[in-house]
Amino acid sequence: MKYALVTGGSRGIGRAISVKMVSLGYPILVNYKSNEAEAMQTLSLIKEAGGSGELLPFDVSDPVQVSDALGKWQDENREATVEVLINNAGIRKDILLMWMEDSHWNDVIHTNLNSFFYVTRFLIKNMLVNKYGRIVNIVSLSGLKGLPGQVNYSAAKAALIGATKALAQEIGKKNVTVNAVAPGFIRTDMTKDLNEAELKNLIPLNRFGLPEEVAEVVCFLASEKASYITGEVISVNGGLYT
């Protein structure tokens, strides 16, 4: 059995990716941290879309939880392999650098960046052995241009873009691709405190994006059709660059 794992699949962009991924024929492993009710809702939507899946809760920022949960799943599913990995889970803790506490910095770096390392390191071995895999990292416009008030988040996402490009070169020969998708402003819980009516004036397409619009690109990169694209960062931002 070949699976797709979506970290942070309980809500927002991760939910849209999980549901869209059904069209690629994979059973979906829906990771989340604590919001079981929302994760169950994602699972229902996967089933409504004609797919199947299971919940796999763990904190992506905790290396022990990552290896325990994935190790247990692999022990219980010895023939199974995760062929598609979407590193999507993320948080923001925006604050000006001069007020930033260690926890603001560390929580954002651990959840948005270190998580990529822990989860990918665990799953990559099977992809290399099977000579097939797709890894898509969800980064951000903030990691491409830097955004004031988000020094921690911009740093994490920019580092993840660097990691995407480096890993793509490391494992391309094994037919495993690694790409990143960089959303701009997307309507999810993460942006519900932002003033869309005001911010949309900065965006050429004059609105925030929908999670489904990000999921389309992610699923293309996760498909066999994207066989000659690796180390790339694709923006989904309504034309907002500077």
Catalytic residue list: 153
Q: How big is the site for ligand NDP, counted in residues (CB under 6 A)?
A: 30
140 binds ligand NDP (CB under 6 A): yes
Does residue 86 contact residue 178 with C-beta atoms inside 8 Å? no
Choosing from 114, 120, 152, 188, the residue that interacts with ligand NDP (CB under 6 A) is: 188
Least distance (Å) from ligand NDP to the CB of residue 79? Answer: 26
User: Around Cβ 34, how many Cβ atoms within 10 Å?
Assistant: 9
CB of 83 to ligand NDP, least distance (A): 21
Site map 15..54 versus ligand NDP, x via CB under 6 A: ----------------xxxxx--x----------------
CB of 142 to ligand NDP, least distance (A): 7
Contact flag: residue 12 with ligand NDP (CB under 6 A): yes
Residue of the chain from 3, 4, 5, 8 that contacts ligand NDP (CB under 6 A): 8
113 sits near ligand NDP (criterion: CB under 6 A): no
Member of 178, 183, 215, 217 binding ligand NDP (CB under 6 A): 183
Which residue, 59 or 83, has its beta carbon nearer to ligand NDP?
A: 59
Q: Is residue 191 a contact point for ligand NDP (CB under 6 A)? A: yes
Q: Hunting for tokens 């199974």 — which residue is that?
A: 80
Type of residue found at 238: G
Q: Rounded to 5 degrees, what angle do the CA atoms 38, 179, 83 make?
A: 65
Q: Is 238 in the site for ligand NDP (CB under 6 A)?
A: no
Toward ligand NDP, which CB reaches closer, 27 or 63?
63
Among 55, 80, 91, 159, binds ligand NDP (CB under 6 A): 91
- Of 174 and 200, which CB lies nearer to ligand NDP in the complex structure? 200
Residue 187's contacts (CB-CB under 8 Å, 6 or more residues apart) are: 196, 208, 209, 210, 211
Q: Out of 21, 46, 138, 222, which residue is the one contacting ligand NDP (CB under 6 A)?
A: 138
Which residues contact ligand NDP (rule: CB under 6 A)?
7-8, 10-14, 31-35, 38, 59-61, 88-91, 111, 138, 140, 183, 185-186, 188-191
